[in-house]
Chain A
Amino acid sequence: MQAIARRLVIIIPFLWLMLFFLVPFFIVFKISLSAPATAMPPYVPTFDLSAGISGLFEKAKEFSFENYIWLTEDALYRNAYLSSVTIAAASTALALLIGFPMAYGMARAPENWRPILLMLVILPFWTSFLIRVYAWIGILKPEGLLNQFLLWIGVISEPLTILNTNTAVLIGIVYSYLPFMVLPLYSTLEKMDYTLIEAAEDLGCTATGAFWKITVPLAVPGILAGCMLVFIPAVGEFVIPDLLGGARTLMIGKTLANEFFNNRDWPVASAVATILLLILVVPIVFFQQMQARAQESGR
């Protein structure tokens, strides 16, 4: 009886993963092995179940890895992947720098304040993501709020060009994903036992020393979770670079959209997406194993 229950517990998330991750992934992967065509849908081969199993096999022979070879031949794709990973890594680091003090402050705030502070972090989600990114256009443009303010206090004499640069993309990503950094950090820091710090200080450790030796190591699961939650969507981000970035902002999300919309080449677009997924999955698996090992040794 217990074995069945245990299996049920595993099978539900497994089915979930199957339905919403593996099945869509295999559809995309299948298209990435096809060739483009002027048809509906715009690729061949398409499968018709009425042809029977042998018919399916016959069609499957048309599959090829040509699109993947294509991706290696043009430096555009490699540069786009690299530039996306760089921008995502920089935004993750920035979000951590800003998010950690925020989460720490929230965790150490008086208990009756915490729900309000938590609410303030979640509040921006009540406005559409698109509108919040659009609002940044108004803030960052040459005659926008930020420049007007800086001119008024006399820090600059000429408006800064921020909009349509990589800096604007970075600001947009950090702003949009900051809550995803703060929330997991907060939940680990809140559960932390602060008597440990008192003990360290009693034993002669400085406040900074106690922070690095106790708070940070204990917050590692939160830091990892927060970094993943920011880094992974940031790599594939399309809306923010499209609205805030300039002509020279190269990100894989934009390159993928170009393949899909301008070249109407669904197979190459699917190949780009498959590789993007591999780039993201490898670090996730790596981190998970590292975490699992850390937990094992911690016991």
Chain B
Amino acid sequence: MKKTTLLLSAVAALAMSEAALAQDRVVNVYNWSDYIDDTILADFTKETGIKIVYDVFDSNEILETKLLAGSTGYDIVVPTGTFLARQITAGVFQKIDKSKLPNIANMDPAIMERLQKYDPGNEHGVNYMWGTTGIGYNVDKVAERLGADYKVNTWDMLFKPEIAAKLADCGIYMLDTADEVVPAALNYLGLDPDSNSPDDLAKAEELLLSVRPSIRKFHSSEYINALANGDICVALGWSGDVLQARDRAAEANQGVKVEYAIPKEGALMWFDSFAIPADAKNVAEAHEFLNYMMRPDVIAKASNYVYYANGNSASKPQLNEDVIGDTAIYPDEETVNRLYTTSPKDQRTQRLLTRLWTKVVTGQ
């Protein structure tokens, strides 16, 4: 009698621990800050029973340093194209198993094609969002200083010293990354935005130093609030971030009007992709997460929240009109042709770029 009780309780314990194991399926996600609608994460757990441990970063450099050191503990990370490419070369990622991703059929072939530049054969990543690096501005303050008919469709505002000087007192911010700002300067000078030539980079440095006195701050996230509060006139920033500033300004109802422009000279187009580190522990769960994020209704919800375009063509009918209809998010054909992409830099060029940037920012 006693033996049976013991056995029974042992079986019960075993069953319970098995249930606990099943419950403990997790996926560890490391994504950019302010880059998802939280309800998507909750819905995923509700549908699949897989718990999401969600961490955020705010620069590709931080992500890359962690990945190169290894054993990050993350199952999904979201690097930008040029970083993805270098990390693939370094052997950071495993190949994704497309047989587990039926929803990959929903992806936009044009975006997949562009991503091949970074990830040949689309073997290591799936696009999450893409966007542009352009100009965010305070409509009224710019009109006040440059005249009501000044058309904000050119980099002149940031790269022509006499025009930038007129905006200096009301505030100009720039992203604090050479990888984004230097290509814009090269492009403005009519040079190849993806150039590795030291001569070209020297010209970009000269241009940036000529407008440096008019720039208040280099920072990669503060401009959202600064634009929304009306503290600054112009920011060189990411499309979706500026649009979030536009919405925050509208909500605050303090008479601040923010807009985003893709300059006529062209702008950088970038892609953020999901990828699975080679040492990820929950590979099956990571694939389930990827497949979920490629479901049209889910990714449409994400885009409607963060104001970035996604690479999923099946999601387009479910996007809000203020997302799909906004040329700042989904630019028209003619604008897309003016967008350029950059490729990863070799060690020598990267060093030149960073050194140039230190000189521009600190004056040293």
B147 at the interface (CB under 8 A from A): no
Residue of B nearest to A42 (CB): B68
Evaluate contact between B68 and A248: CB separation under 8 angstroms: no
Which of B61, B70, B90, B217 makes the CB contact (< 8 A) with A262? Answer: B61
Of the 9-residue stretches B34-42, B303-311, B335-343, B355-363, which lies at the interface with chain A?
B355-363
A285 at the interface (CB under 8 A from B): no
Residue of A nearest to B85 (CB): A38
Which of B90, B217, B358 makes the CB contact (< 8 A) with A42? Answer: B90
Evaluate contact between B354 and A258: CB separation under 8 angstroms: yes
Residue of A nearest to B92 (CB): A40
A-B interface contact total, Cβ < 8 Å: 60
A-contact bits for B321-364, CB 8 A (1 contact / 0 none): 00000000000000000000000000100110011011001111
Evaluate contact between B90 and A38: CB separation under 8 angstroms: yes
Interface centre among B218, B361, B362 (most CB of A within 10 A): B362
Which of A36, A75, A261 makes the CB contact (< 8 A) with B65? Answer: A261
Q: What CA separation (Å) do A164 and B218 show in the bound complex?
A: 12
**A260 to chain B: which residues have CB within 8 Å?**
65
Q: How many residues of A contact B (CB 8 A)?
A: 24
Evaluate contact between A79 and B364: CB separation under 8 angstroms: yes
CB distance from A57 to the nearest CB of B (A): 26
CB distance from A282 to the nearest CB of B (A): 25
Residue of A nearest to B177 (CB): A262
Evaluate contact between B65 and A76: CB separation under 8 angstroms: no
Q: What CA separation (Å) do A67 and B70 show in the bound complex?
A: 24
**B363 to chain A: which residues have CB within 8 Å?**
248
**A79 to chain B: which residues have CB within 8 Å?**
364
Q: What CA separation (Å) do A258 and B358 show in the bound complex?
A: 9
**A249 to chain B: which residues have CB within 8 Å?**
362
B255 at the interface (CB under 8 A from A): no
B-contact bits for A257-295, CB 8 A (1 contact / 0 none): 010111111000000000000000000000000000000
Evaluate contact between A265 and B351: CB separation under 8 angstroms: yes
Residue of A nearest to B178 (CB): A262
**B205 to chain A: which residues have CB within 8 Å?**
none
B62 at the interface (CB under 8 A from A): yes
Evaluate contact between A74 and B355: CB separation under 8 angstroms: yes
B residues with CB within 8 A of A: 59, 61-62, 64-65, 67-70, 86, 89-92, 178, 217-218, 347, 350-351, 354-355, 357-358, 361-364
A residues with CB within 8 A of B: 36, 38-42, 74-76, 79-80, 164, 247-250, 255, 258, 260-265
- 9 A-B residue pairs with Cβ-Cβ distance under 8 Å, sorted by A, are A38-B89, A39-B68, A40-B70, A76-B355, A76-B358, A164-B217, A249-B362, A263-B354, A264-B61
Q: A264-B64, A264-B350 are in contact. List 15 more A-B contacts (CB 8 A).
A: A36-B347, A38-B89, A40-B67, A40-B70, A42-B68, A42-B90, A79-B364, A164-B217, A247-B362, A255-B358, A260-B65, A262-B178, A263-B351, A264-B61, A265-B347
